[in-house]
A and B are shown apart, each in its own frame.
Chain A
Amino acid sequence: MLEIKDLCFSPGGKEIIKHLDLSVPDGKLIIITGPNGGGKTTLAKLIAGIERPDSGQIIFNGRDISGLDPTERALAGISYGFQQPVRFKGFTVRELLTIAKGGELSDEELARTLSLVGLDADTYADRALDSHLSGGEIKRIEIASVFLRDSELAIFDEPEAGIDLWSFNALIRVFEEMRDTRKKTMIIISHQERIISIADDIVLIQDGRIVVEGPRHRIYPLICKQGCMVFDLRELREAARELRESAGRGAGSAENGGGEYER
C-alpha cells in the first residue's frame, strides 16, 4: 500500500506538486494521465526518491520513506522505468539486466524476459547499450529491467514512448503478467489509450493536483472518446463531484485534491 499525504514540491520556487494526496492499494494497476507539464513525471520521481519533496509524506507499507534515497527505496521494493532510458558505453543488455535482477540471471530467464518485451535474445542479449540501439529498443530493455526487479511497486513513466504500434500487445502482456500473475502494484504514467484501458484506477493530474481519480469504467469514457484522448476539465470536475458524492455514500473511490481545485 502506497499513501501520499499532502505532498508539495517547488524546485526553484516553482510549484510543481501542490498538496497532493493519493492512495494506491496493493495489487492495483493505476494509470496517471493528464496534460503535459501537469506534474506526472515529477510525482513518479518523488515516489522513487529521484526527487525529494519539500513537505508531505510518502508512506510505503506503513513505513515513511520520504527521507530515503533512491537506492534505499529500490531496496524497499520500488522500481522505476525511466521515460528516456539512459545508455551506457561498455554495458551489454545482459549485464544491465543482470544488475536489475540483483543476482544471477539465467540464459532462459533472460531470453524469456527479452521475448516478453518483443526482443530476440540471440540478437540483443550481448548488444551494447549504446547509441547503436534505437529509442524503441532501449525503451523495451528499460521495461525489461523493471520487470526483472520483480519489486512490490513498479513505476513506469510513459512506457509507450518509442514503442511501435506492433509491439503494444507485448507491452500490455508485460503489465498484465506483473499485475495478474505476479500480483504486483503498478503506477504507469501514460497517454496511450490501449494502456489506459487495462487500468484498475485512473488518476488525472493537472497543474500539480489531482483533478479526478476513480475506477477505470468511470473515468475512461470521459477521457477517451472515439479513440482520442480528451481532457475536458468541466466534465472531469463534474465527474469528480459525482464520485465524491458517491464516496460520501460509501461507494468506492472519490475525487481527491480536485475538491480544493474547485473551491
Chain B
Amino acid sequence: MKDKKKTAGVTSGSPAADTLQKPAETPQSTEKRAEAPVIDEATSALLKTIADFDGKYFEGAFNIRSNCMSLGRRSTENIRIESKTDLPGLDIRIAPGTKGEKCFIPACVTKPDVDDLVYNDFFVSEGADVTIVAGCGVHTETGEPARHSGIHRFFLEKGARVLYVEKHVGTGSDQTKKVIDPQTQCFLAEGAYIEMDTSQLGGVSTSVRRTSAELAAGAQIVIRERLLTDADETAESYFTVTLNGEDSKVNLMSRSVARGNSHQTYQSNIIGNARSYGHSECDAILAENGRVDAMPQLSANCQDAELIHEAAIGKIAGEQIMKLRTLGLTEEQAEATIIDGFLK
C-alpha cells in the first residue's frame, strides 16, 4: 500500500482537500437548515443507505465525513459539533434536557487506499433524549483496500436517553477489500438509557466490532445487532457489558446470517457486579458454507445478578420454508423472505 492517507481527521475548512466543499459550519447557528453540501454520487449513494440521506440535507445537527474530511457540518442550539484538537474526530455536546432532536454523523470512504481513523465523543447531558445516526459506507472500484475505523464514546449523564442507529455497508468491486472496524464505548450514569441498533448487511470484506458498556444504578442498555456476511467475508463482534449499579440492565440481541464461505465470530460477556439483570441472545442462520462461532459468557460477581444467555445456530428450518411454499412462494423466494424478515 502506498502513501496511505491515514487519519486526516475532520478538517472542516481545510483548503487542501480536493473534494472538500466549504463546510456549512455554523456551530452557533439555530437555523433548522444549512446550505446543502456538494456531495459526489458515490458518497451520496452511501449516505442514502447508511443514514437515509435525501441528497439535500439532514434534519438536525450533522457532520458528513468523507475520505477523512468533513464535507459539511451544522450545529444546533442544543447539539454542538466541534472538531477535536488533539485527535481526528469530533466532540458532540448535547445540552441538558434536549428532547427529540437528531444528530447525524455518517462517514464514507469512496477512494481506494484510504485508512480512515476517527474518534467521536458524545457528551449527552442530564435529561436529554436524542437520536444519533452514525454509520459508515465504504465504496471502492479499484484493487486497493479501503478502511474506516470509527471509535465512538458515549458519556450519558443522569437520566439521559439515546437511540443510536449505526448502519455499515460496503459497495463497489467485489475484488477490493473493504474494511470497517467500529468501536463503541458507553458510560451510563444513574438512570441513563441507550438503545443501539447496529446493522451490517453486506459488502464489507472484514469487520471487527468491539462494543463495551459500563452501567451505573438503574441504567439500561439495549443492543440490537444484525449482520449478513457472504462470499469470503469475515465479521467479528465482541461485546462486554459491565453492570456496576443496582438494578442496571442489559438486553443484547444479535441476529446474523452467514452465507457463501463467510465466517462470523460472536463473543459476549455480561458482568454482573451488583443486583442487576442481563440477557443476551445470539441467533444465527447458516446458508451454503457459512460458519459461525458463538462464545457467550456470563460473569456473576454478585448473588443478585440475574444473567441469561440464549443461543441458536442452524440452517433455516425446513418447516418455515414449507409453510411459505404452501403460500405460493418458491423455495428460493421463501429462503430470501425468511432471511429478510430475520434481519429486519
- Chain A residues lying within 8 Å of B317, measured Cβ to Cβ, are 86
Contact A71 B337 (CB under 8 A): no
Binds A, one of B33-41, B97-105, B267-275, B326-334: B326-334
- Chain B residues lying within 8 Å of A82, measured Cβ to Cβ, are 319, 323, 326
Q: With CB as the reference atom, state the residue of chain A lying closest to B331.
A: A71
With A and B bound together, what is the CA distance between A79 and B329 in angstroms? 12
Contact B325 A69 (CB under 8 A): yes
Contact A86 B327 (CB under 8 A): no
With A and B bound together, what is the CA distance between A149 and B325 in angstroms? 12
Q: Is residue B74 contacting chain A, with contact meaning CB distance below 8 A?
A: no
- Chain A residues lying within 8 Å of B283, measured Cβ to Cβ, are 89
Q: Is residue A250 contacting chain B, with contact meaning CB distance below 8 A?
A: no
Interface residues as binary, A112-148 with B (CB distance below 8 Å gives 1, 0 otherwise): 0000000000000000000000000000000001000
Contact A89 B342 (CB under 8 A): yes
Q: Is residue B343 contacting chain A, with contact meaning CB distance below 8 A?
A: yes
Q: Within B141-173, which residues are at the interface with A (CB < 8 Å)?
A: none
Q: A86-B319, A88-B320, A90-B255 are in contact. Are A70 and B338 (CB under 8 A)?
A: no
Q: Is residue B322 contacting chain A, with contact meaning CB distance below 8 A?
A: yes
Q: With CB as the reference atom, state the residue of chain B lying closest to A45.
A: B322
Interface residues as binary, A74-114 with B (CB distance below 8 Å gives 1, 0 otherwise): 11000110100110111100010001101000000000000
Shortest C-beta distance, A129 to chain B (Å), equals 9
Contact B326 A85 (CB under 8 A): no
Q: Is residue B341 contacting chain A, with contact meaning CB distance below 8 A?
A: yes
Interface residues as binary, B310-322 with A (CB distance below 8 Å gives 1, 0 otherwise): 0000000101101
Q: Is residue B344 contacting chain A, with contact meaning CB distance below 8 A?
A: yes
Q: Is residue A172 contacting chain B, with contact meaning CB distance below 8 A?
A: no
Number of residues from B at the complex interface, CB < 8 A = 21
Q: Is residue B324 contacting chain A, with contact meaning CB distance below 8 A?
A: yes
With A and B bound together, what is the CA distance between A157 and B319 in angstroms? 15
With A and B bound together, what is the CA distance between A85 and B317 in angstroms? 12
Shortest C-beta distance, B334 to chain A (Å), equals 8
With A and B bound together, what is the CA distance between A95 and B319 in angstroms? 17
- Chain A residues lying within 8 Å of B322, measured Cβ to Cβ, are 50, 70, 86
Q: Within A236-257, which residues are at the interface with B (CB < 8 Å)?
A: none
CB contact between A71 and one of B319, B325, B341, B343 (< 8 Å): that residue:
B325
- Chain B residues lying within 8 Å of A205, measured Cβ to Cβ, are none
Q: Within A165-183, which residues are at the interface with B (CB < 8 Å)?
A: none
Q: Is residue A223 contacting chain B, with contact meaning CB distance below 8 A?
A: no
- Chain B residues lying within 8 Å of A91, measured Cβ to Cβ, are 341
Contact A95 B325 (CB under 8 A): no
With A and B bound together, what is the CA distance between A218 and B136 in angstroms? 71
Contact B328 A74 (CB under 8 A): yes
Q: With CB as the reference atom, state the residue of chain B lying closest to A80.
A: B326
Contact A75 B341 (CB under 8 A): no
- Chain A residues lying within 8 Å of B331, measured Cβ to Cβ, are 71
With A and B bound together, what is the CA distance between A102 and B329 in angstroms? 9
Q: Which residues of B contact A (CB under 8 A)?
A: 255, 283, 317, 319-320, 322-331, 337-338, 341-344
Across the A-B interface, the 5 shortest Cβ-Cβ residue pairs: A90-B341, A86-B319, A70-B325, A90-B342, A74-B328
Q: List 7 A-B contacts (CB under 8 A).
A: A80-B326, A86-B319, A89-B342, A90-B341, A99-B324, A149-B327, A149-B328
